[in-house]
Amino acid sequence: MKIFIEKEALSYALSQEIVKNFNYQVIESYESFDWGLRPYPDLVSQGKGLLFVMKFKGKFFRKCPGTKNYFCCGYKIFHFAEGCPLDCSYCILQCYFNRPGIKLWANVFEDGFKELKEVLLSAKAEKRILRIGTGEFADSMALEKFCGVSEKLVEFWKEVNPFAVLELKTKVYVNEDYFKRLPSDPRIIFAWSVNPEEISKKEEHKAPSVFKRLESAELALKYGFTVAFHFDPIVYYPQAKENYPALLEHILKRFPHEKIAWISLGTLRYPPELKEIAEKRFPQTKIYSFEFVKGLDGKKRYFIDLRNELYKSLAKVIKDLGKDVTFYFCMERKRSWQEVLGKSVNSSEDVAGLLDRVAENLCTYGITNVHLQ
């Protein structure tokens, strides 16, 4: 990984840590960086090996962008970076920003933590629960060796003692030494995105196997944290209706249910422009070759009947083994909730309410034995 630090970002604490520990080059600005004359898909690939440390001038704390016309869970984002060194063929970040390279915000500790503290204290005073994550625009842990943001956030949670949970969503393996040095806190949810090995090996490039991720989840529990799992995106392929339920069954048998905050379900969806970029970068991928329909949010999706077939393949496992775990759909509507889980969920507010109950229980008691009602 080549590291570039903007001149105006050099004085910040994160930049100074990088200066002490890594080779780097100072540049005038990200905007003036010479990428050469290359088509955008090539720039995405080139940017996977380039890390830019920059001063961020926007809001660190924001709402999840969600999507139109489908139910969103309503969680909030602490925006510490953009981009990811992993290289999944389905990753929306390939076209989301149109800004190649991986960006770390140099002023995250000075400005970002200050902004976050004000939000957390205000919510605590109002007794208003918050669910906050850092894995929307960057993997929460993949850049940790460069920035230490997640570690400092865990320490920050102890210091501020907010009425809030923090979800650190990742695909990487986190070793025991890392968890050892953190203060245990059930309000901190280490969450892993999971797919069967068939998809992980072919589509989640540079990511460890799903079983290495589950080893990390066990370590998180060992050191006093909560875990979550995200079956998102669920990708259709000939063995999908056998392999996804098998993976879910393995997880539900392997982990104590009272330590699982939630498990999300969501099928592959993408902006139309992603297909061309991804197929040029990953000519062997076949995930875009199935029939898709334009959804109510403008994204390409499987037909609702196929989506629900995939979900229903998981429903028997949920019914037999997962009744005491909170499951939720990411970006679906009431038909899927009713047909698959038999639940009356009619709005984004309903989804948010389900997860808020789990978060409140974590903040109050440090346990997550909450049922979907």
Alpha helices in 63-104 (DSSP H): 93-96
Q: Report the chain's mean pLDDT, rounded to a whole number.
A: 95
Which whole number is the average pLDDT over 263-288?
96
- Interatomic CA distance for residues 13 and 147, integer angstroms: 10
Q: Tokens 């909730």 belong to which residue?
A: 337
Residue 61 DSSP SS3:
strand
Helix (H, G, I), strand (E, B) or coil at 329: strand
Q: Given this model, what pLDDT does residue 36 score? A: 86
**What are the start-end ranges of the E strands in the chain?**
2-6, 25-27, 50-54, 61-63, 76-78, 81-82, 87-88, 102-105, 130-133, 164-170, 188-193, 204-205, 226-234, 260-267, 269-270, 293-294, 300-301, 327-329
Task: Assign 287 a pLDDT band (cuts: 50, 70, 90).
Answer: very high
Q: CB neighbours of 260 closer than 8 A, spacing ≥ 6?
A: 226, 227, 228, 229, 325, 326, 368
| Structure-block tokens of residue 218 | 């066990």
**pLDDT at position 167:** 98
pLDDT at 372 over 60: no
CA dist 288 and 285 (Å) reads 7
Question: pLDDT tier at 70 (50, 70, 90 boundaries)?
Answer: very high
| Token pair of 78 as six digits | 């602490």
Per-residue pLDDT band for 368 (boundaries 50, 70, 90) equals: very low
Model confidence band, residue 367 (pLDDT cutoffs 50, 70, 90) = low
Residue 90: the pLDDT is 97
Closest CA to 363 of 132, 142, 62: 132
pLDDT digits (tens, 9 = 90+) for 204-236: 999 999 999 999 999 999 999 999 999 999 999
Average pLDDT over residues 285-307: 96
Per-residue confidence band for 101, with pLDDT thresholds at 50, 70 and 90: very high
Say what the pLDDT of residue 333 is.
95
Smallest Cα–Cα separation from 157: which of 218, 224, 217, 104? 224
295, amino acid identity: G
* pLDDT given for residue 371 in this prediction: 39
Q: Which two tokens stand for residue 270?
A: 């993408």
Q: How many other CB atoms are found less than 10 A from the CB of residue 63?
A: 11
Q: Hey, which residues does 265 pair with through a beta bridge?
A: 231, 329
pLDDT at 324 over 50: yes
Residues 125-143 pLDDT 10s: 999 999 999 989 999 999 9
* Single-letter residue type at 307: R
CATH architecture of 59-88+108-365: Alpha-Beta Horseshoe (3.80)
Q: What is the pLDDT of residues 103-132, one digit of tens each?
A: 999 999 999 999 999 999 999 999 999 999
Q: pLDDT (tens digit, 9 = 90+) per residue, 22-62?
A: 999 999 999 999 998 788 899 999 999 999 999 999 999 99
Q: Which residues of 64-83 are buried (b: 16+ CB within 10 A; e: fewer)?
A: eeebeebbbbbbbbbbbbbb
Predicted structure pTM score = 0.96
* Cis status, amide bond into 233, omega within 30 of 0: yes
Give 370's pLDDT tier (boundaries 50, 70, 90): very low
Nearest to 140 by CA among 107, 116, 166, 113: 166
**pLDDT tens readout for residues 171-187:** 999 999 999 999 999 99
Please compute the mean of the pLDDT values over residues 69-98 and round it to a whole number.
93
